[in-house]
Amino acid sequence: MAQIIKELERHPDQFKSLVCVTAQHRQMLTQVLDLFDIQPDYDLDIMIPGQNLFDVTSNVLKGIKPVLEKERPDFVLVQGDTTTTLAAALASFYLHIPVGHIEAGLRTGNMLEPFPEEMNRKVSGVLADIHFAPTPWARDNLLREGVPPERIFVTGNTGIDALLMSVEKIQAEQELRSSLERQFDFLNPNKRMVLVTCHRRENFGPKLESICQGLRMLASQNQDIELVYPVHPNPNIREPVNRILGDGNSKNIFLIEPLEYLPFIYLMQRSVLILTDSGGIQEESLSLGKPVLVMRDTTERVEALQTGWIKLVGTDSDRILLESEAALRGTEILSAKGLQQNMYGDGHSSELIISHVLDYLKTEHCL
């Protein structure tokens, strides 16, 4: 949402924009706000130890109610598939405030994968007044669900706006680039680096343990690579990851703390292969020309699979090993082939979205 906020700020004569954050992950939020120079107008501060989906949903609903009642906005923008998105859209609906859903229309067809994100995204779509779909495939999903075509706009994804801006910043600022290189000077420049992320709720438990076993085998059987895994702070992630991968026996596995945005982008650029269960990384990798193996059984980025750069491999340890080794052998072929264009955006999605919001508000006589 950072680029959306910045785009709104460029039109002070047409918009008064207000930012509300939940601070569900305070540390991870703060570094993004600092990077993009965003000062929230409201901070719900809902983080409590051991919180679950009931806590997050109810606390966002209760926290945002007085904000919406005080400000009475003409329009509310929500993004993606988080529980915050669902709760904010529902609260706006209760108060008869129109909602725009950014990154709308992504579907796996399985309500339990990703969990609860598939449900969050579908319900937010029911509540939304206008939908900003990143691709024609996402638009078609919404049309099949009965959304009027005049309420859907294909805009690309604002996450690509932020990514391209950050890549340009890293390339342009020598001091920043040198600082990032020093941050990861523990990596061997003569070895290929594989970047790993894993945090999805549906992978908690046996699936995550199987993923970790696959990563362990990959590292032990391929000493010419290094695995770098920024570990999510959730205890359901940290315990099995540290137990299986953090025993110190694998010298080419690096478990590190969660990264700020720019260092993570730097590692994505430096990697030869990415193993992840993230949705956004599937999109970002296409802009960076990095092959990705998705450690899930489903993906809402179905069109990405058709590029050949993204592949679903599930969570079975043996398959993760085999597919990773095959991908490592094929990275040079993919790089030589090249990627013509990222279907998820060209860096101008925020401008398109705000233009459509302006048209909507004019049509509804809010401006």
User: Phi first, then psi: what are they for 78, rounded to 5°?
Assistant: -125, 160
**Among the options 7, 101, 103, 121, which is catalytic?**
103
The answer to whether the beta carbons of residues 95 and 68 sit under 8 Å apart is: yes
- Please give the structure tokens belonging to residue 117: 């994100």
Does residue 117 carry a catalytic annotation? Answer: yes
Which residue in 151, 192, 201, 348 is the catalytic one?
A: 201
Question: Is 202 a catalytic site residue?
Answer: no
Q: What share of the chain is helix, strand, coil (3-state, %, to 5)?
A: 50, 10, 35
DSSP characters over 288-306: HT--EEE-SS--S-HHHHT
SS3 42: strand
Residues 268/284, Cβ–Cβ less than 8 Å: yes
Count the residues in the chain.
Answer: 367
Q: Which of 81, 283, 284, 300 is catalytic?
A: 81
Note if 181 is an active site residue: no
**Which amino acid type is present at position 202?**
E
* Cis before 235 (ω within 30): no
Tell me which of 7, 101, 107, 117 is the catalytic residue.
Answer: 117
**From 151, 232, 238, 348, the catalytic residue:** 232
Judge whether 323 counts as a catalytic residue: no
**Which residue is catalytic, options 101, 131, 139, 199?**
199
| Residue 81 annotated to the active site | yes
103 a catalytic residue: yes
**Cis check: omega of the bond before 116, within 30 degrees of 0:** yes
- Residue numbers annotated as active site: 81, 103, 117, 199, 201, 232
